[in-house]
Amino acid sequence: MRKLLPCLLILLAGSPVFAQHYVLIGWNDLGMHCSNQDFSTFVVLPPYNNIHAQAILVGDSLTLPQVVTAGLRVSYQIPGNTYSVGKTNFWDYAFQIFGATLAPNIGLTGNGLTGDLTKTENYFAVTGVPITPYTDADLLHEDPFQLGFLMLHDSVTGQIFTTAQPVVPVSNEINCVSSGCHATVQALLNQHDAEGGFDPANTPILCASCHSSNALGTPGKPGVPPLSEAIHKKHGEFTNDCYKCHPGPNTQCLRDVMKTQHGFTCQTCHGSVTQVGESISSGRIPWLQEPSCGATSCHGSKYAEEPGKLFRQSRGHGGLFCSACHGEPHAIVPSGNARDNVMNISLQGYAGTLNKCSVCHGYTPSGAGPHGLSQCCLGTRGNVNNTGIVDLSDLSALISYLTGGGYVLPCTEAANINGAGIVDLSDLSALVSYLTGGGYVLPSCV
């Protein structure tokens, strides 16, 4: 018995029946953070990244899943990126620019490249992670979409329950000179009016010290337009190319499903450069009033953010953030960048919205889930065999079903391609038209 007991304990410890099963989901708040690399002349944004996470205690047919923080701790790191000093000269100028005395590799909110997220309501968050787009292995080429590594621990024993790999996006591709627009940084500064006490020689210059910026929380000086208003209105006279300044021709920060599958550009959602600026003159609050999924011309109220909140602040099904299932703004999954898809592939086996109910529920509930949807028909119709995408195998399945070939429909609603009553030959024509480029647009399930 004495010999047997340790063996039994080991067996029990390894048994999934007794282990609590968690899912960890992490994401970045914005989909991209820009930062200057050089802080000696002028400064728009410091290295500053925000990572969020939610932990879910997986349910089963008797128990609902729970979003949990109690007794848990989430740690973060960016494998292959362990230091920032030298990859940028931020630390040489942090005091002059921000009045902050910072230890090397520690950012403006006291956080470094590794550490713990802080519990906040029903989620975990860390702000101001001073990551640069340069990995330790390559100091010359930007890697703007590095994978972070989050670990969910028992806060007492440190035991690791599970991990997640969200992208921690950052780019230095803020482009004034390399875009071919300004000859040198000094030439750019010399162009600024002397008004308001602007002195091109008194570097480093924090643009947001006079022009308010809600990204930095600076109030600006009275009578000076917010930075976003000044910059977009002035430059809208010369360009409508967002990638002249936002990252950028190399980075391609807009990589989400609306770009890759529906051809969206920045302007589709934000309007032109001039409109981004003019809308502020007309009362829009920069950074805090942005486009929304729920706008009536887009997805409508069923898929809306919480009233008065941005996408990144909103929560939906089960108290989960929109981003927990959909990814970050500008990187809504399935993303054109493979790294954005890593996390959901590891959770549910395929890229795209986290829509496999059993990931959190432990089984497939029959009740209505997110947005009132049930598991079997999600997104657009046409996924006859219920395996991820709509392709030729769905056509074979539908033909087999309709011609008495014995195919059993796993989800009748999904096979009801045109959404009209029953599954019949008109659904087959619709699917053929869609798959052969005949122009049929698959309607959504709901």
Q: What's the closest the beta carbon of residue 345 comes to ligand HEC, in angstroms? A: 14
Grouping H, G, I as helix, E, B as strand and the rest as coil, residue 206 is: strand
Task: Name the residue nearer to ligand HEC (CB basis): 147 or 445.
Answer: 445
Number of other CB atoms surrounding residue 404 within 10 Å? 7
d(CA 99, CA 355): 46
| Bridge partners, residue 162, by sequence | 152
- 162 closest CA partner among 150, 171, 146, 172: 150
Backbone phi, psi, residue 218, to 5°? -90, 135
**Closer residue to ligand HEC (CB): 314 or 335:** 314
**Closest by Cα among 408, 403, 367 to 384:** 408
Q: Which is nearer to ligand HEC, 94 or 428 (CB)?
A: 94
Half-sphere CA count of 193, side-chain side, radius 13 A: 6
- Residue 174 parent element (H or E): none
Minimal distance in Å, beta carbon 32 to ligand HEC? 7
Q: Quick check: 102 and 91 in contact, CB under 8 A?
A: yes
Quick one: 329 or 382, whose CB is closer to ligand HEC? 329
Closest CB 224 distance from ligand HEC, rounded Å: 4
Output 140 or 288, the one with its CB closest to ligand HEC: 288
| Residue 440 token pair | 């049929």
Closest to ligand HEC by CB, 379 vs 419, is 379
**Residue 206 · residue 43 · CB < 8 Å:** yes
Q: How far is the CB of 260 from ligand HEC (least distance, A)?
A: 11
Least Å from the CB of residue 362 to ligand HEC: 10
Helices (H) and strands (E) in the chain, counts: 13, 14
Q: Phi and psi of 380, rounded to 5°?
A: -90, 155
CB of 127 to ligand HEC, least distance (A): 14
Q: How far is the CB of 269 from ligand HEC (least distance, A)?
A: 3
Task: Decide whether 141 or 234 has the Cβ nearer to ligand HEC.
Answer: 234
Hey, what amino acid is at 252? Answer: Q
Q: Are 245 and 179 in contact (CB under 8 A)?
A: yes
Q: Which is nearer to ligand HEC, 147 or 227 (CB)?
A: 227
Q: Which residue pairs, CB below 8 angstroms and at least 24 apart, start in 345-349?
A: 346/165, 347/23, 347/25
**Cβ 237 to ligand HEC shortest distance, Å:** 9
